[in-house]
Structure 1
Amino acid sequence: MRRKIVAVDMDDTICHLVKRAIYHNNIEFPTHPLSYEEMMDWNTDHLRHPASTQEVFFGRPGLYEELELYDEHVVGEMEKLHREYDVIIVTAARPNSVAEKWNWLQRHMPFIPFDNFFACKRKSLIDFDLLIDDGPHNLLPALEAGKKALCIPHPWNLRMRESHPFPLMESWENAKQRVDELLGSLD
């Protein structure tokens, strides 16, 4: 019998990218500081300094290897999910960040094999039963395709959450239980 596939995003789902990118932005452009709460969209309108482009904000060398875990529960819960499901990491990545993301994943979650690591921005191209993500551009297509989804709430998905009743996962605590419930796989 085929194991169910749980697709998990990396950035701002199992680790904190935007908060770290803001940290570096505010050091490099102190006259144009940003805050997490201001990040209401995926576009670059929030980048106030003319030299702070999306490439500068998300493309700093080494950025993806220094990200903090989402919370203290994420590693244990991901390991539990890995034991029962085919957990795949599906992450949008610039070519220069793929190795950094893989290094981060191996440092924090070495139980995820390379075969289960996908650099892919359009996650609707990947087969899965459930998606854990923060991106509206990934969550909506998953639901439209009849798949299950868990939304990691952030300011940039607030508008979508107001119009679509996504199940939310504000912490990784008891994530395995939430996934079991959604996929009908209770022990």
Structure 2
Amino acid sequence: MKKKTIAVDMDGVLADIEASLIECYNKECGTAISRESIQGLSEEDAFHGRTILRGILNSENFFRTLPVMPDAVESLRQLQENFEIFIVSAATEFPMSLHEKIGWLGEHFPFISWENIILCGSKRIINTDYMIDDHSKNLDYCIGKPIMFTAFHNINQTHHLRVNNWKEVLETLEKTL
């Protein structure tokens, strides 16, 4: 029997990009923003414009050193028992991130085959049974069942099934078996 497929985003879902963005932004700008202070803001509003944000995202080793989301490793291992997992990241906007993301995945998720890693631009072409992402722009095109992973920038969006952490992801997907 063919396993159902899941597309899993990296940044904001597997990797805690919020923590690193806040830390780098505060260091660069001499500010003291917190996770709480940016809830409900867009990325551009939270980090006062695209220029500083793009500079941080294009800095060397930014993506390679992101912390792993709590319970992500164990959850993907468990999900692999019943699903085929694809890691899908819209990485080509930040070309320096390609090598870093491959290295990060190899370190933290060595059980994910290179054949199941998709670094792309748009995710509109992804055709899986489920997609877990923190951006509506990706989930809105999902052919299967979209699952929104909570992040500061999507907290006010309500048009997709929401999960707040990896324990909720497991609970949600185990109901489908």
Which band: TM-score by shorter chain? 0.7 to 0.9
Partner SS for 1:126: coil
Structure-2 residue corresponding to 1:91: 89
State the AA in 2 paired with 1:118.
Answer: I
Q: Write the distance in 1 (CA, Å) between the matches of 2:97 and 2:168.
A: 30
Q: Write the distance in 2 (CA, Å) between the matches of 1:45 and 1:174.
A: 28
Q: Write the distance in 2 (CA, Å) between the matches of 1:34 and 1:174.
A: 27
CA spacing shift, 1:49–1:138, aligned 2, 3 Å: closer
State the AA in 2 paired with 1:78.
Answer: L
Structure-2 residue corresponding to 1:75: 73
Unaligned runs of 5+ in 1: none
Q: 2:163 aligns with which of 158, 161, 169?
A: 169
Q: Percent identity over the alignment?
A: 25
Q: Write the distance in 1 (CA, Å) between the matches of 2:118 and 2:45.
A: 28
Contact kept in structure 1, 2:150 and 2:165, CA below 8 Å: no
Question: TM-score, with normalisation over the residues of structure 2?
Answer: 0.87
- How many residues are treated as equivalent by the alignment? 173
Structure-1 residue corresponding to 2:53: 54
Shift of 1:2: 2.5
Partner SS for 1:90: strand
Shift of 1:33: 4.6
State the AA in 2 paired with 1:5.
Answer: T
Contact kept in structure 1, 2:13 and 2:149, CA below 8 Å: yes
What is the Cα-based RMSD across aligned positions, in Å?
2.0
Structure-2 residue corresponding to 1:138: 138
Q: Write the distance in 1 (CA, Å) between the matches of 2:102 and 2:13.
A: 15
> What pairs with 1:153-168 in structure 2 (closer than 5 Å)?
153-161=150-158, 164=159, 166-168=160-162
Unaligned runs of 5+ in 2: none
Partner SS for 1:68: coil
